[in-house]
A and B are shown apart, each in its own frame.
Chain A
Amino acid sequence: ETGVTQTPRHLVMGMTNKKSLKCEQHLGHNAMYWYKQSAKKPLELMFVYSLEERVENNSVPSRFSPECPNSSHLFLHLHTLQPEDSALYLCASSQVGPRADTQYFGPGTRLTVL
């Protein structure tokens, strides 16, 4: 596997379910990101982990819970979601250094909340 992978690619869940999204990066990067992409809206940054510490929580509801057990893996735990949470969830990684560098994206998980 190369680059950034995400599983599952598609997920349908009810509002009372609990599920998790997984992201893995094979680039040796030290920062990982979760974004939400809804139809007709700009990309929304949700969470950032740098050196395995959460450094950004962009006013995301508590029904979304991130976890970063090591620099290569990132999870997004979901519980009691709402239909408006249906979106494409994108994971990205980058190498944090003296200047801002490129973020590399995974293919995304298409989430549908019924």
Chain B
Amino acid sequence: AQSVTQLGSHVSVSEGALVLLRCNYSSSVPPYLFWYVQYPNQGLQLLLKYTSAATLVKGINGFEAEFKKSETSFHLTKPSAHMSDAAEYFCAVSEKETSYDKVIFGPGTSLSVIP
């Protein structure tokens, strides 16, 4: 069965500093991997996804993630944090069930940005 771990339930960075949110997955087949962001009192919004094309994936709001098969990792980065980046971030892996797309979500990392 596939699973996702996110190291650090809470990460704090200063405004303008590098953002690094860690994600490791386990999968027996080539995975589809996702990062979602959730702002307070809102649903989940797709930031980016990996679908076995380029290993470096660029997403919205200046975020990117790199797929490293040897490390089974899919860490999310942003060169310079902005106050508006404060949110909950979820890494996810999907697997194909017979008739639907099952997505396994990590527990989430709460990002705080300090002015």
Task: Report B73-109 residues with CB < 8 Å from chain A CB.
Answer: 90, 94-103, 105-108
Tell me the interface secondary structure of chain B in the complex.
strand
Q: Is A57 an interface residue (CB 8 A)?
A: no
Known: A55-B99, A99-B32, A100-B96. A108 touches B105 (CB 8 A): no
Inter-chain contact B100/A50, CB cutoff 8 Å = yes
Q: Chain A, 100-114, contact with B by CB distance < 8 Å: what is the 0/1 string? A: 111111111010000
Q: How far is the CB of B49 from chain A (nearest CB, A)?
A: 6
Tell me the interface secondary structure of chain A in the complex.
strand
Inter-chain contact B101/A105, CB cutoff 8 Å = no
What is the CA–CA distance of A48 and B99 in the complex, to the nearest angstrom?
Answer: 10
> How many B residues touch the partner, as a band?
20 to 34
What is the CA–CA distance of A45 and B81 in the complex, to the nearest angstrom?
Answer: 31
Q: Is B45 an interface residue (CB 8 A)?
A: yes
Can you sample 14 A-B contacts with CB below 8 Å?
A: A50-B100, A55-B99, A56-B97, A92-B44, A94-B100, A94-B101, A99-B32, A99-B51, A101-B94, A102-B49, A106-B43, A107-B41, A107-B42, A108-B43
Q: A42-B107, A106-B43 are in contact. List 17 more A-B contacts (CB 8 A).
A: A6-B43, A43-B90, A45-B102, A53-B99, A55-B97, A92-B44, A98-B96, A99-B96, A100-B101, A100-B103, A101-B32, A101-B94, A103-B103, A105-B44, A107-B41, A107-B42, A107-B43
